[in-house]
Amino acid sequence: MRKSHPELTKKSHGLRKAAKRLFLIFLLAPGFVSLGAFAQAEAADGYLARQLSSIARFCELQSLAEGESVDTVNKIDGFVKTFSDPDFSDEKTSENLIEFCKLAFSGSTPQSGSLLRALQLGGHLSFTRSNSSEKTEISSHPRHFSGHVREAIIVNKARSDFYRKRSNGKTSKLSRLYTNLEYAILPLATLIDRWAAKLNQAGIPVLTNDFAAMTAINPAETPVARTGVLCRDGQAEFSKLLDFFQTEISRAARHKDFLKAQLQAIKTLHDLRRLELQHNCNLALSIHFVESIGLAARNAQRLSQTFNGRSDNFYRVFILLQNAGIKMFAKVDLKAQPFHRQQIGIIVNDLPAIPFP
């Protein structure tokens, strides 16, 4: 057997790392992407599918070169197929969407950041392009999910100036992080809306009662009642609570046990509010996600009984999609807490109350 020369092996490894850095810089860095040009030249979903395919091909090369699993490649390719030509009657479509969301929002792999950035850019394009370019099957029906995300982006972009002035520019980074995460959700919300439109056409009113209006939020200048910050032990307990919630909701949703999902959401809301009181702090966005999942589970159970389970798979995916991002969005809560000490109500004043439980 021919032995590899250590210097050549080291050099080869270095070249692979350099190529990877250059590829990701070229593909994903904002400076290399003209959003206005892309918005005029092509539909946002076509751009996103191409970028994700490019990431998958690069991951495939890396896997072959380094002997790693191609599981990540399969998840990306599966989502691209689903996104480009969704067949909502096929169980594989929902699995592709679930696995991709877990991968992109977990932050647990080197590819997660790349996928998240591609979603953000795709969402930005979708947000900025004119309504006349929307596909007819979407524009002819209410955009329940994507419309809610768009409203939230508009509100948060407008309020970012108010918070920036109140904080001498220190909230700008947090506002940008939050809005970018919302952009990342937008392509997924659009796909969910397409699925919802088909069910709505069949007379099944999914998503019609799953979102609270952004008009119900507090004014930006509303005083902050709790001004504390989670200590290290508090953060550890917070993380543990959300880990357990994710595990239990994933198990319940996969079994389409929407009653169990509601009960778990109620328990977690109690624990999060106890943590808020104990540390005199705000965990508003995490509570918002848990309330949203609980409301979706309640609506899922009601529609399941009315329509003999025909909406079950839809709500299973909708709940698991929200569940995938809860830990990543929880970071926003922690970053917002120091500003609450200064009576700057970023995040805590920017979320509508959700009628759950």
The residue to which tokens 């692979």 are assigned: 16
How many CB atoms within 10 Å of residue 123?
A: 28
Summarize pLDDT for 5-40 with one digit per residue, the tens: 544 444 445 445 544 554 444 444 443 344 444 444
**163-183 pLDDT per residue, tens:** 999 999 999 999 999 999 999
Burial 289-307 (b: 16+ CB within 10 A, else e): bbbbbbbbbbbbbebbeeb
Distance CA 40, CA 54 (A): 21
Least reliable range by pLDDT among 1-5, 163-167, 188-192, 262-266: 1-5
Q: What tokens were used for 100? A: 């991709």
pTM of the full structure: 0.85
Distance CA 279, CA 229 (A): 7
pLDDT digits (tens, 9 = 90+) for 100-141: 999 999 877 778 889 999 999 999 988 987 444 444 444 456
Percent of the chain's residues with pLDDT above 70: 82
Query: What's the pLDDT score for residue 82?
Result: 84
Instruction: Give per-residue pLDDT as tens, 303-342.
Output: 999 999 999 999 999 999 999 999 999 999 999 999 999 9
Query: Positive or negative CA dihedral for 187, 192, 193, 197?
Result: positive
Which pLDDT does position 210 carry in this prediction?
A: 97
Q: Encoding tokens for residue 167?
A: 């904080």
Residue 80 burial (10 A CB sphere; 0-12, 13-18, 19+)? buried
Q: Which of 217, 213, 228 is nearest to 159 (CA)?
A: 217
Residues 288-302 have pLDDT tens digits of 999 999 999 999 999
Q: What is the dihedral sign for C-alpha 199, 201, 206, 210?
A: positive
Look at residue 65 in the predicted model and tell me its pLDDT: 56
**Of 67, 58, 49, 74, nearest in space to 23 by CA:** 58
Domain ranges within the chain, ordered by starting residue:
14-84+91-133
The residue with tokens 């009315």 is 306
